[in-house]
Chains A and B, each alone.
Chain A
Amino acid sequence: MAEANNMLSSDVSRTNPIIKIKKWLIKDIKRNYQLYIFLIPGLVYLFIFDFLPMYGVQIAFKSFQISKGIWGSPWVGFDHFKRFFKSYQFINILRNTLGISLYQLIVGFPAPIFLALVLNQVRNKFFKKLVQTVSYAPHFISVVVICGMIHLFLSSRNGLVNIILGYFGVDSIFFMGRPEWFWTIYVISGVWVGIGWGSIIYLAALTSVNTELYDAADIDGCNKLHVIWYIDIPAIVPTMVIMLILRMGNMMDVGFQKTFLLQNDLNLPASEVISTYVYKVGLVGSQYSYSTAIGFFNNVVNYILVVLANKVARSVSEVSLW
């Protein structure tokens, strides 16, 4: 490197900068050609499976025909978008998507923070470890099995939940067949799966708190509630803000797999979201252009939300993604 730099500076007076850079580059490639070889597979992979699909997004503005290919298909402007906005399902799908997301934000977002703050209070190392180990476990269970468990537990005939409700004299509820229950089932099961795993990042932020702060608080006569309020919570605010911004960027993404696996004809009015609709229209119905347009609309809204959230966060709390 030093050698290359020397060569670079000594050449400055003699040749123009472009040739100079070229020369230096050729030398670097000759010297470090192995590094370049290392990179080839990764770059090829990203080009094919990330950038080609991005190029393919243009079919959202075209009438895609397989025989003509992506480039040869005729342009139709915003026709697909207009069709989606005007379709009778649009309002319902948007309502479900945003509704589930908001519900998740309000219930699912604070849950791991709360768990981390409480875990941080516990002195008994064994008990703390036990709670952590058990609460992380659902994270490793596949979404198919989670949904299978949900179906079994919520069965109206003899599901676990209905049996327990029966002890309290509540009549059996047909959870999976009632649209009004779908959002709650989705969000609560999400909390069950994610609360432990989600708390890790906040616990990490809490362990980085300077212990002198706690000692000082002790001398000043603070009780634990004060410590949580004035030391612990401020310590995790930056992490919270970052996680919140990231979440805003997923506002329009209600997990496809779980929704799809919990969906049935009866709860469809509450469970049809953008991702499942894209799948049905695009892959099942083979309306490639229309489906891509819906997906593209989804991504654009996500992108706008994350940029806005980042702006707000930067002006309010001085923490931001970029």
Chain B
Amino acid sequence: MRKIKRQKEDIIIDVVSNVILTIVLITTFYPLYFVIIASISDPDALYYGEAMLYPVRITFEAYRRVLRDSTIWLGYRNTIFYTVVGTSINIIMTFITAYPLSRKNFPFSKIIMRYFAFTIYFSGGLIPTYLVVKSLHLTGKWYVLVILGAMSVFNVIVTRTFFQSTIPEELFESASMDGCNHFRFFLQIVVPLSKPVLAVMILFYGVRHWNEFFKAMIYLNNRKQYPLQVFLREILINNALSEDMHGNDMTDRLQSEKLLELMKYATIVVATLPMIIIYPFLQKYFVKGTMVGSLKG
């Protein structure tokens, strides 16, 4: 009797949780899917809400126009450059800082870790940081984007935890018996043994550079240096495209506004596609990284 009752309740829970997850799945997926179908639908179909579930009268006109726009390419090129250079600097800084701190007999690691924790809890804030950057004459220079934020204390702590748990102290001791110094040990043993954390760090820092917008907005003033996100803001939020597209009479205007909307959707796809394609393959690393971080955080 009890057994039957129990099964009944469990079935209800099963059904309810599957329903909830289906709702979560649809509400997350549908907006993303809609962006894609909207970008290839006919402007009129989009405007009158006909293209809701599948693309209507497929056209690639929006993509043709977006890809002809030189700012997108410029932004893309700059962002790829900043991401590659910035992430390389991040990785080097993070690894070389985390390594000494992970050695048990390094005399200052405790005090330095405390100094690190301090920077997590306290910060000077926007204006004092801005004044420092300005006084170093970094404003307007492209490399401000890779220097500012060259190292995240949080990521150093994650990497240090990884080193501590995977590279035993004895390994260095025996290597040093054979005349191996720290430089060689670091390059030939620590780095090759740390591929999982290396992958996580490349991804964490890489995503951050790819999506960087604020620093570029406040520190750069030359359009040629702008990363993709700054141009995206102009297009998607400040409606920069509209100026050169407006026709004279009202019908022209409406028509160009419809096309403009289509182009916004196409722009979103073009800007986000690399991430969305790469991400499922790297998902397990991201997840692993958050877990390592959560142990300490």
Contact = CB atoms under 8 A, between A and B. Distances in A.
Query: Do A and B come together as binding partners?
Result: yes
Contacts of B229: 142, 144
Contact of A118 (B20, B122, B237): B20
Nearest to B233: A144
Interface in B266-297: 267-268, 271-272, 275-276, 279-280, 283, 286-287, 290-291, 294, 297
Contact of A35 (B103, B119, B232): B103
B250 interface: no
B232 A148 contact: yes
Contact of B182 (A28, A35, A54, A291): A35
B21 A158 contact: no
Most chain A CB within 10 A, of B52, B100, B128, B186, is at B128
Nearest to B290: A200
Contacts of A246: 297
B132 interface: yes
B233 A56 contact: no
A221 interface: yes
A136 B280 CA distance: 9
A288 to B, nearest CB: 5
Contact of A261 (B18, B20, B237): B237
A242 B297 CA distance: 9
B142 interface: no
Contact of A283 (B211, B218, B267): B218
Contact of A135 (B28, B52, B103, B151): B28
Interface in A106-164: 115, 118-119, 121-123, 127-128, 130-131, 133-138, 140-145, 147-149, 151-153, 158, 160, 163
A171 interface: no
B268 A145 contact: yes
Contacts of B275: 140-141
B99 interface: yes
B9 A163 contact: no
A34 interface: yes
Nearest to B35: A149
Interface in B145-168: 148, 150-151, 153, 156
B24 A28 contact: no
Interface residues of A, number: 89
Contacts of A130: 25
Nearest to A130: B25
A57 B126 contact: no
A50 interface: yes
Given A134-B28, A261-B233, A34 B182 contact: yes
A138 B35 CA distance: 13
A49 B129 contact: yes
B211 A142 contact: yes
B31 A153 contact: yes
Given A25-B107, A134-B25, A261-B237, A140 B124 contact: no
A292 B35 CA distance: 40
A225 B214 contact: no
Nearest to A120: B17
A283 B127 contact: yes
Nearest to B49: A163
B201 to A, nearest CB: 14
Interface size class of B (residues with CB under 8 A): 35 or more
B125 to A, nearest CB: 4
Interface stretch (A11-19, A38-46, A89-97, A177-185): A38-46
Given A42-B96, A135-B25, A140-B279, A53 B124 contact: yes
Contact of A131 (B25, B150, B267, B279): B25
A49 B132 contact: yes
B17 A122 contact: yes
A151 B260 CA distance: 13
Given A1-B105, A127-B21, A278-B127, A148 B264 contact: yes
A34 B187 CA distance: 12
Contacts of B32: 137-138
Contacts of B264: 148, 152
A221 B6 contact: yes
Nearest to B116: A46
A48 interface: yes
Contacts of B96: 38-39, 41-42
A314 interface: no
Contacts of A144: 211, 213, 229, 232-233, 236-237
B49 A283 contact: no
Given A52-B124, A152-B265, A204 B132 contact: no
A38 B94 CA distance: 10
A38 B100 contact: yes
Given A160-B34, A279-B126, A282-B130, 13 more contacts: A42-B96, A56-B127, A56-B129, A56-B131, A130-B25, A144-B211, A145-B268, A145-B271, A148-B233, A153-B31, A158-B261, A225-B9, A306-B121
8 contacts: A25-B107, A38-B96, A135-B25, A136-B286, A147-B237, A204-B291, A224-B13, A288-B127
Interface of B: 2, 6, 9-10, 13-14, 17-18, 20-21, 24-25, 27-29, 31-32, 34-35, 46-49, 52, 93, 96-97, 99-101, 103, 105-107, 112, 115-116, 119, 121-132, 136, 148, 150-151, 153, 156, 181-183, 186, 207, 210-211, 213-214, 218, 229, 232-233, 235-237, 261, 264-265, 267-268, 271-272, 275-276, 279-280, 283, 286-287, 290-291, 294, 297
Which 9 A-B pairs have CB atoms at the shortest separation, nearest pair first?
Answer: A53-B124, A148-B236, A56-B128, A42-B97, A142-B211, A295-B125, A34-B182, A53-B128, A35-B100
